[in-house]
Copies of this chain bind each other. A is one copy, B any other.
Amino acid sequence: MSACETSRVDFAGQNGRPRILIVGAGFAGLSAAKHLAKADVEITIVDRRNFHLFQPLLYQVATAALNPSDIAYPIRSIFRKQRNVASILLAEVVGVDCQGRTVQLEDGECLGYEYLIVAAGATHSYFGHDEWRKHAPGLKTVEDALDMRRRIFDAYEQAERYPDLASEYLNFVVVGAGPTGVELAGAMVEIAVHALRQEFDRIDPGQAHVTLVEASSRVLAAYTEPLGKSARRQLEELGVEVRTDTLVTEISERSVVFDDGSTLPTRTVFWAAGVQAADLMQELGSDRDRVGRVVVQPDLSLDGHPEVFVIGDAASVTSQGKPVPGTAPAAMQQGRHAAEQILADLSAKPRNSFRYRDKGSLATIGRARAVAQLPRLHFSGVAAWLAWLFVHVFFLIGFRNRTFVILSWAWNYITFRRGARIITKVGSGREK
């Protein structure tokens, strides 16, 4: 990082206003920037992508219900009218020098700051089996979603071409029964049973078999036990085979092996089992937990560096003694909290500890199937599904995106079909 000392470039103006550098425009970074809208500061936002992605609906892109641009919104458009956003850069941060108060971009350029907000998010964790990545992609980026979509629909095409291998191609496996795994498994059954009905000549898509594998004893472990059981029952009613207490010990191109020694022949495995913090967290020189998240102070700043905040999925945060979940609402609350601490500093007021307010959780399973865990009310089925629809549309950014998502859902609901069922070739989400 020493290169930065001599060639420091100050993007924000030199007019004495504090420069706030936000790394990542996910839910956490966006929320921080918005809550600083009226502050007398100069904000720079750096992201590897030109858009904010509404990740909770990414599985719907993977299952051809929505288009990528329905759930993505250009970062520049979001801040078009926020005047203290001095610069938005499509770039990757590769290093942080907390002593020198600079970050380094992938092309060597350095940005100075008075405040740094790191909201770089998370990626998949294969628990030491990175060789599985190739056969069992996860779902974090638009490219991941398009890759999944290609794999799902291509499996049916290959089964049609090679009926001898149909049983292999029509076995789908999802590893991990958290919200993403549950949503993916449910949607994949609906594709088999409804969307592809009557369209193949040599195979019956309805014969496809979706297996949801979970290492723990429960589906949706973050929910109450009755809701987890309800989710499991709803999945099984759809036709998903749920295998709890089951570990995956091997994933290859043509099969998955479980810890009971059994082998499931399959060409399509998706990974929804584990996440780890972005690699950038290693650059901060702070304590990290076992999944790489930076352990932050109660006010979300770094130990010894009150001017650096780490928020969102990249941070290990506790509130009232309990770990804060890696969800969009928690990330937004953390973004707001970091912004408020900076505003407190600027008006010479004391800082506060972050306190997570759990407003509830919703997970959808399929058509008119979901579970809802609100602070005082737990329910499932159609009501939970309607709540889920409403909340997700409400939090989407932009009138156009909301309109198109509502229309797509209405069309899907009425016709049982999927509007984005095209197989395209996608670049890897990992390379530049």
Residues of A within 8 A of B (CB): 49-51, 64, 67-70, 72, 74, 76-77, 80, 86-91, 142-143, 146, 153-154, 157-158, 160-161, 196, 198-202, 400, 403-404, 407, 411, 415, 417, 419-429, 431
Chain B residues, Cβ within 8 Å of A70:
67
CB distance from A412 to the nearest CB of B (A): 9
The closest CB in chain B to the CB of A44 belongs to B201
Docked complex Cα distance between A89 and B154 (Å): 11
The closest CB in chain B to the CB of A427 belongs to B425
Partner of A199, one of B76, B158, B202, B415: B76
CB distance from A284 to the nearest CB of B (A): 24
Partner of A198, one of B80, B407, B417: B80
The closest CB in chain B to the CB of A107 belongs to B161
Docked complex Cα distance between A160 and B47 (Å): 14
Known pairs A400-B419, A404-B407, A425-B427 / 8 extra A-B pairs, C-beta < 8 Å? A51-B421, A69-B419, A74-B422, A87-B201, A87-B202, A404-B419, A425-B428, A427-B427
Chain B residues, Cβ within 8 Å of A154:
90
Determine the main DSSP class of A at the interface with B: mixed
Docked complex Cα distance between A80 and B424 (Å): 21
Asked if A72 contacts B422 (CB within 8 A), the reply is yes
Asked if B91 contacts A161 (CB within 8 A), the reply is yes
Asked if A160 contacts B425 (CB within 8 A), the reply is no
CB distance from A397 to the nearest CB of B (A): 13
Chain B residues, Cβ within 8 Å of A200:
76
6 tightest CB-CB pairs across the interface, nearest first? A425-B427, A76-B199, A69-B420, A90-B157, A67-B67, A72-B422
The closest CB in chain B to the CB of A412 belongs to B400
Chain B residues, Cβ within 8 Å of A157:
50, 90
The closest CB in chain B to the CB of A72 belongs to B422
Asked if B422 contacts A50 (CB within 8 A), the reply is yes
- Given contact pairs A89-B161, A161-B91, A68 touches B424 in the complex (Cβ within 8 A): yes
Chain B residues, Cβ within 8 Å of A51:
421-423
Asked if B199 contacts A143 (CB within 8 A), the reply is no
CB distance from A401 to the nearest CB of B (A): 8
CB distance from A82 to the nearest CB of B (A): 11
Chain B residues, Cβ within 8 Å of A161:
89-91
The closest CB in chain B to the CB of A420 belongs to B69
Chain B residues, Cβ within 8 Å of A425:
143, 426-429, 431
Chain B residues, Cβ within 8 Å of A88:
160, 201
What are 11 A-B residue pairs whose CB atoms fall within 8 Å in the complex? A49-B422, A49-B423, A50-B421, A67-B70, A68-B424, A74-B422, A80-B198, A88-B201, A403-B411, A425-B429, A426-B426
Asked if B69 contacts A421 (CB within 8 A), the reply is yes
Chain B residues, Cβ within 8 Å of A74:
199, 421-422
